[in-house]
Amino acid sequence: GELGVQVFVQQMQHARQELLNARGHAAADRDGEGVEAEVANGVHGEGLGAIAGFECPSGADAGVWQLENIRHFTMELSGLAVALNSECTSVTCPKMKATDEWMYLCAAHKQPQECSAMDYIIHTLDGTCSLLTSAKWFPSRSHIPDSSLKYFQSIARRLYRILSHTFFHHRATFDAFENKHQLCCRFVAFAKFFDLIPPKLLIIPETAFDPSSQE
């Protein structure tokens, strides 16, 4: 409901500050070079042709580079969640689906279970923020333990589901957000570059977000 979304927005604002603080620590670990600044600068290029922009900068730890990008995408997706607030409700979207073939269970519970799409989105973003700021799994901002790298794939798959639900069920909002932020295009480019999501699970047609694929 409306109150739940308001609480979520407040939580995400707090989480954003935590992530920004963490990104500041990463910058200090690189002698002021600023991994977080390089991530925030975004990817420049046309459509998925910008994929090379996700190449790890010289001197940066590859795991930290992926972590910082995922942090940034999580913050951006919170903005998409707010944009969906008025139209993605427990009535309009009682289950988290993309196409009729793809329905997703929410992993935020002791046993995965069905959630409304908005609850799934909120739980996913909240859980991602909690995981990425976990001192247990990500104790250092200068190096990511090999045992923690495994989480990037599951995180990426769940974040992508937010985009796919928006595309298939809230197309006007998807188009408006994508035209302004190119979020899906950048996220797919990132996921492809680091092999985080199997191609068969990338179900949003590239023509929906990549102008170069329409030529």
CATH topology of domain 2-214: Butyryl-CoA Dehydrogenase, subunit A; domain 3 (1.20.140)
Sequence-distant contacts of 94-98: CB under 8 A, at least 24 apart: 96/120, 96/121, 96/161, 96/165, 97/165, 97/168, 97/169, 98/161, 98/164, 98/165, 98/167, 98/168, 98/169, 98/203
Can you tell me whether residue 174 is helix, strand or coil? helix
Can you tell me whether residue 185 is helix, strand or coil? helix
CA 38 to chain centre: 17
pLDDT digits (tens, 9 = 90+) for 84-142: 989 999 999 999 999 888 788 888 787 878 899 999 999 999 989 888 887 777 776 66
Listed range (9-13, 114-118, 163-167) with the worst mean pLDDT = 9-13
**Domains of the chain, residue spans:** 2-214
